[in-house]
Structures are given as C-alpha cells and as structure tokens.
Amino acid sequence: MLAQKDSHKLPVIGITQGDINGIGYEIILKTLCDSRIFDSFIPIIYGQSKVFSYYKKNFNMEELSYSLIRDVHQAQAGRINIINHTDEELKIEPGISTPIAGKASFEALKLAVDDLYKRNIDALITAPVNKNNIQSDKFNFSSQKRYIQSFCKDHASLMLMVWNNLKVGSVTNHISLREVPEIITKELITNKLNVFTKTLQEDFNIPYPRIAIMGLNPHIGDDGLYGKEESQIIIPAIKEAKDKGQLVFGPFSADGFFGSAAWTKYDGILCMYHDQAMIPFKTLAVDGGVNFTAGLPVIRTAPDHGTGYDIANKNIADPNSFRHAIYLALDILKNRRQRKETL
C-alpha cells in the first residue's frame, strides 16, 4: 500500500486527461477547484503539467496549485497531483482532432491503467478521448473500456449508465445496428444479466435487484409480426434467469417502458442495443449521467459525454457528469470494501 495513502487514510483516485484539445482539462479543473473535494480522496492526474497550466491560466484558475510527482507513492493529500506521461512540449489546438492529442490520450491512459491494475490507485476516472485519433499499433480498441477490459479477459463486463436510481445496461454496444440481431443470443443475454445482477448486489448494495429487460423489435415483436427474437431468444433467457431465482421481468417495449416512467420500479434495466439504452438515459440524466464499467475487478468510471470539441476552451463545459463519476467511483469502492470486510 502507498505510504501517503496509509497516512491520510484516503482513497487514491486516478484521473486521465483525455484529449488535450477537448474539454477534459476544463471539467477536471472545475471539479477540483473546490478544495472541499480533497477531504474525500487524493487525486492524481495522468497528463501533462504544462497542458494543465495552459488551461488553468485560460480559465483564470491561477490560484489552483499542484504537485508534480514521479509516481503515486509521492502523492500528497489536500492538493492536486500530476504524473507527466511526457516531458515534451505538446501543441495544444482546442477544438481540433490531432495525432499529437491522440498519442497523448493513449500515453496518459496507459500509465493510469498500469497503476490501476497494480492496485497503486483505488479507482480510475477517464476523461473523454477521440476514438479515431487515439488509434495506433498500441491501441486498437473501439473504446477506453475495451482497452481496460483487455487486461482481464477472464472477466465479463457490462457498460452501465448510472444516474441517481436509474441504471441502464446494454447487451450490445458499439456495433452497427444491422449486426445487433446476429449477435444477440440467449447466452449473451444471460452473461450480461449475470454481470448486471452481481454489480447491483456488490457495487450498489442491492441484495435482491429487480431487473427489467427490453425487447429488440417494435412492440416486442407483436407475436412474431415484427421479428421472432423475443420468442426465440429473449423470453427463454428471462425464463432461465427466473428459474435460477433472479428477479427479472419482461420483455418490455422500450418506448412505452421509458415513456410511462415504468423504469422507476426497477433497480436495473437491460437494453438490447446502444441507442435503445442511451437515448432515454441521456434524455433523463441530461448532464449528470456516469459511465461505469461493471464486472471488472478494478473500478473505472467516466462522464457520459464526448470530447466536446465544439465548446473546447470556451469555459462553458458542465463538470457535473465528471464530478458524479468521481463520487460514484468512491461509493462503489466503499461498498466493495465493506462487503470484503463482512466475508
């Protein structure tokens, strides 16, 4: 364990800088400018101190100080700590996707993930990256989640969107809509449902979670008129889960389910594809939602928005989602520790 961490008895939370030309540093600065937040954890930014200083000056936060450290063992409580992924000068071009920004995104992420899996930090919050400019021979993944998951392939995962009591997962994620019916199987639904149930129990402290499952087709297939995935795949998966004692319900038609506020009656909602989950979630959560990678032995959360190139460096980015991502990680960490103590 870390010497500094032990002396202060505070969780050590890693934060990646994201794309240096986006709103990553803005939401980080706006979150950490309130010194009261240091009562809850020790922050370590994996980034570049000169880029941090550039945005700090632009947003008139010159009074915000930091410690430049070489590794997590030097982290100090009560202040911002920064680990540089490079000492080179980085060209900052707010609002523009560049190869330099992509390379910087990956280098910072790699350092942070290495410390995460070495248990040098207790949780990781990732600022948004550009999924295109980050690609390289070292990073060939569709998302940061996939990269983080690649270090523990024996663990099934679930992208879980969280806002207050609303928790929405999806059986499939970043694939084209035409591929969804081919990929969805009873086994895949069962796998995601098991991860969902376990994370609600262990990470959110809900002993007997009630999970609603959405259908795939309009009007849940209408007795096969619009598709047979419900009768042939989804309903058998639900029956199997019920036979095992899981509290699962459905399938429901997503439009009526979210439109009638039926979602308030359940602890979790499992959708079939990305937009079926994300459109109602972001409509309800507005700017406060959090992306949590459930099912992994490590804790990673993220704000539920992208790089925000269109508003970069304009001092108008809302930090709420990022702030909620930090506090959700802390809550999950607390629940996991308490559960471990009782076993």
Q: What is the mean pLDDT of residues 153-158?
A: 88
Q: Please measure the distance between the N-terminal and C-terminal CA atoms of the chain and give it in whole angstroms.
A: 21
Confidence of residue 330 (pLDDT cuts 50, 70, 90): very high
Is there a contact between 107 and 147 (Cβ–Cβ < 8 Å)? no
pTM metric for this prediction:
0.92
CA distance 122 to 299: 7
Residue type, 315: N
Q: What is the mean pLDDT of residues 121-133?
A: 97
Structure confidence at residue 225 (pLDDT): 83
Domains and CATH numbers, the chain: 1-155+296-343 (3.40.718.10), 156-292 (3.40.718.10)
Confidence of residue 144 (pLDDT cuts 50, 70, 90): very high
Averaged confidence pLDDT in the chain: 94
How would you list the strands of the sheet with 210-214, edge to edge? 66-69, 80-84, 42-47, 12-16, 123-126, 300-303, 290-294, 158-163, 166-170, 268-271, 210-214, 247-252
Each residue's pLDDT tens digit, 268-312: 999 999 999 999 999 999 888 999 999 999 999 999 999 999 999
Residue type, 101: A
Q: For helices 49-58 and 24-32, what crossing angle results, to 10°?
A: 70
Each residue's pLDDT tens digit, 37-91: 999 999 999 999 999 999 999 999 988 999 999 999 999 999 999 999 999 999 9
Structure confidence at residue 221 (pLDDT): 82
What DSSP line would sit under 203-255, residue for residue?
Answer: TS--SS-EEEEE-SSGGGGTTTTS-SHIIIIIHHHHHHHHHTT-EEEEEE-HH
Confidence of residue 154 (pLDDT cuts 50, 70, 90): confident
Whether the predicted pLDDT of 3 surpasses 70: no
DSSP letter at 311 equals G
